[in-house]
């Protein structure tokens, strides 16, 4: 059987998610524990291996894509993630696969899916942002984000766009991460708003459909009653005339 892009993605979805989880665990250990020496070399090796796996996945998808050029220009972010070592932590975006799993667990209840999606996406974004910000800021002169709890607090107030100002990035990369976190928070709010609006529209449409069906049924019943009444009147007249 010839391999297609859809089949490749289906076969590799769970393995890639497992590798992404491994990446997250190793990266978190490396950042929080502030590893050095042999431990740092081991974690760097694991992260490099996972990066190669994601690079292979990108190349295979590009080869199998039809039309290939359209897939290429629609996935510039994937190319940047696997091509630029600076952006490699963004490969954690593969973890959005977890959100689909959570949606399946939620079943068909729309509200349940919204809650699980938002909670999962927000938690993942906060955790990854805290790690990335701490990794970039900890050793910078004048840094205020120097511990993981600092990073978590900063990520929470940033994703909610509150921004107390007690903790803030001082490096250029840290500010880029902060920008991405703020945009991610706005996007989550947009997803919730759009989903609820869609749910309301569906409920209104369903309600209108039920009302219209009920009205048609009542009209049909009334028509049948009028027809029966006319028949009765007709028969009564016939009997009287006879």
In which band, very low, low, confident or very high, does the pLDDT at 17 lie, cut at 50, 70 and 90? confident
In which band, very low, low, confident or very high, does the pLDDT at 106 lie, cut at 50, 70 and 90? very low
What local confidence, expressed as pLDDT, does residue 104 receive? Answer: 43
212-232 tens-digit pLDDT:
767 777 778 778 777 877 777
Output the six-digit token pair for 91.
């490969």
What local confidence, expressed as pLDDT, does residue 38 receive? Answer: 92
Tell me the average pLDDT across 126-130. Answer: 87
In which band, very low, low, confident or very high, does the pLDDT at 1 lie, cut at 50, 70 and 90? low
Least confident of 2-6, 132-136, 232-236: 232-236
What local confidence, expressed as pLDDT, does residue 189 receive? Answer: 75
Q: Is residue 195 part of a domain?
A: no
CA dist 148 → 81, 100, 145, 153 (Å): 24, 28, 8, 9
Q: Is residue 20 part of a domain?
A: yes
Q: Is residue 60 part of a domain?
A: yes
Show Cβ contacts of residue 174 under 8 Å, excluding neighbours closer than 6 positions. 133, 136, 137, 140, 145
Q: Is residue 131 part of a domain?
A: no
Least confident of 44-53, 60-69, 81-90: 81-90
Written as one string, the DSSP assignment of 171-198 is SHHHHHHHHHHHHHHHHHHHHHHHHHHH
Show Cβ contacts of residue 165 under 8 Å, excluding neighbours closer than 6 positions. none
What local confidence, expressed as pLDDT, does residue 210 receive? Answer: 67
Q: Is residue 90 part of a domain?
A: yes
CA atoms in the 13 A half-sphere facing the CB of 156: 8
Mean pLDDT for the chain?
Answer: 77
Highest mean pLDDT among 7-21, 102-116, 164-178, 210-224: 164-178
CA dist 126 → 52, 119, 147, 161, 185 (Å): 26, 11, 15, 12, 10
Q: Is residue 70 part of a domain?
A: yes
Task: Evaluate if residue 205 carries a pLDDT over 90.
Answer: no
Domain that holds residue 17: 1-94
d(CA 115, CA 75) in angstroms, rounded, equals 28
* 37 φ/ψ angles, rounded to the nearest 5 degrees: 70, -135
CA neighbor of 30 nearest in space, from 109, 114, 138: 138
**pLDDT > 90 in the chain, percent:** 9
Question: How many domains does the chain contain in total?
Answer: 1
In which band, very low, low, confident or very high, does the pLDDT at 94 lie, cut at 50, 70 and 90? very low
Q: Is residue 19 part of a domain?
A: yes
Q: Is residue 10 part of a domain?
A: yes
Show Cβ contacts of residue 126 under 8 Å, excluding neighbours closer than 6 positions. 152, 155, 156, 159
């Amino acid at each position: 059987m010839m391999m297609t892009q859809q089949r490749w993605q289906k076969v590799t979805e769970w393995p890639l998610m497992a590798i992404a989880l491994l990446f997250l665990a190793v990266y978190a250990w490396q950042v929080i524990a502030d590893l050095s020496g042999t431990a740092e070399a081991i974690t760097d090796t694991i992260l490099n291996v996972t990066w190669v796996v994601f690079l292979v996945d990108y190349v295979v998808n590009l080869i199998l894509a039809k039309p290939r050029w359209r897939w290429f220009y629609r996935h510039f972010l994937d190319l940047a993630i696997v091509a630029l070592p600076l952006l490699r932590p963004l490969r954690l975006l593969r973890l959005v696969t977890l959100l689909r799993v959570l949606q399946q667990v939620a079943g068909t209840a729309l509200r349940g899916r919204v809650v699980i999606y938002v909670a999962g996406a927000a938690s993942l974004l906060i955790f990854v942002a805290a790690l990335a910000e701490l990794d970039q800021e900890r050793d910078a002169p004048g840094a205020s984000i120097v511990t993981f709890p600092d990073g978590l607090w900063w990520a929470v107030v940033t994703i909610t766009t509150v921004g107390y100002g007690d903790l803030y990035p001082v490096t250029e990369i840290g500010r880029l991460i902060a920008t991405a976190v703020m945009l991610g928070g706005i996007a989550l709010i947009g997803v919730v708003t759009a989903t609820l609006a869609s749910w309301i529209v569906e409920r209104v449409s369903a309600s209108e459909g039920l009302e219209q069906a009920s009205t048609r049924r009542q009209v049909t019943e009334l028509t049948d009653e009028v027809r029966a009444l006319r028949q009765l009147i007709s028969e009564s007249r016939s009997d009287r005339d006879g």
